[in-house]
Amino acid sequence: MEEPLCCCEYVDRRGERNHLAACCCDCQELDESCDRWLSCRSLPPGALERIADTIADRCRVPWFAGAVKVNVSLVPPMVLLPVFLHVAALHFLLGLVVLTSLPAVVLWYYYLTHRRKERTLFFLSLGLFSLGYMYYVFLQEVVPRGHVGYSQVALLTCGLILMLVALSRAKKDPGYLPISTADDKPSQQAFPSKNVRGSSNGLHGAAASGHSVNGESKGHSRALAEGREGVKMDWCAKCQLVRPARAGHCRLCGRCVRRLDHHCVWINSCVGEQNHHAFILALLFFMLTSLYGIMLTLDTICRGRTPFTALFYCPGAYSDYSSALSFTCVWYCAIVTAGMGYILLIQLLNISYNVTEREARLALRDNAGRRLLGGLVIDTGQYNRGFLCNWGHFLSLGSPPQQRSAEDIV
């Protein structure tokens, strides 16, 4: 019988028993990389990824039933964000450098994780910690100046709470399709014809053409099946199930989602049929709360100026460190709000044309859509039924389908 793990022991990613005291030992990838670097030789492909995986596997804290792994992506926002903002508050030029480099670093990390096709808690941690830290600075540096009333603080707090509630609902089930078991998997004989091939993208047009898109199942698609009401459905070779139209397979979550819109890194989850409403509400509450907090802060540290003018011209912003820190946080919030505002705008336009982000991306890949409003929206023309009908369809997402009587069917 194998002995239980002590508080400092753990089973590493290779399945071997290890100890926290040996976390700096036996790192073959790091040793080899250092030898190549000292000898001016190039690193082998994937060396940095293997080193990062080893470091992430060994970042653990002692626990009763064995050392618990700590997600490394949670740490940088909590440590680096306050440091960078305090450094930016020291001088105007330092603030300019920090506030322009932060978005660049975030975008670089986004493309890095997107290329590696892996889930990360970095963006969710960055968003939540930014909210908490901005609220802390507002209470510590802005409210004590006496220009913000209790009712305004209460209104800002309510907006923050509503945004967090909407975010928690958006984190729930986006509409995952149930995974088929070995007993209820449909056989290939249940499909209409072997000669009719469908893609894994869930789009009628692409399915009819037989092209495989989105890298989901090139050469693995199977025949289309007809739903009970004549709606085309297709086969997902990875989940081994038949899924309805507009559903898609998320490579990061490894699941099929009803009416998949996209995988949002800011909530570390997919946006689908069940949580699209909550996702829009979270963005809307964030925009309103952030803009209100920016206006209150600018009105406090730049008296007598409009918020837009004070954002670009506030002579007394760096007169003391408290004002400088508040002004720096205002600009950080403004940058984040601008990015979230762009996401909200794209979402509202897509809803107005009844197209998802995934469908728009696939339409661009297949040259099957029209660019409208300067390329902000891609109209596939497949589900667009007019502005009011499209919004009515969106508002009805997640509701149970209407039961039809036998007379209506006949």
The residues assigned a catalytic role are: 264
| DSSP string over 12-25 | -TTS-EEEGGGTTS
CA distance 84 to 410: 68
CA distance 51 to 29: 6
CA distance 126 to 109: 12
Burial class (CB in 10 A: 0-12, 13-18, 19+), 31: exposed
How many C-beta neighbours within 10 Å does residue 220 have?
Answer: 12
- Going by the DSSP 8-state scheme, the letter that residue 46 receives in this structure is T
CA distance 300 to 317: 10
CA distance 340 to 91: 27
CA distance 84 to 94: 9
Angle between helices 75-88 and 321-352 (to 10 degrees): 120
3-state secondary structure of 257: strand
CA distance 326 to 126: 19
Residue 13 carries which side chain, given as an amino acid letter?
A: R
Q: Any idea which residue has 């050392």 for tokens? A: 67
3-state secondary structure of 160: helix
Contacts of 363 (CB under 8 A, 6+ apart): 355, 369, 378, 380
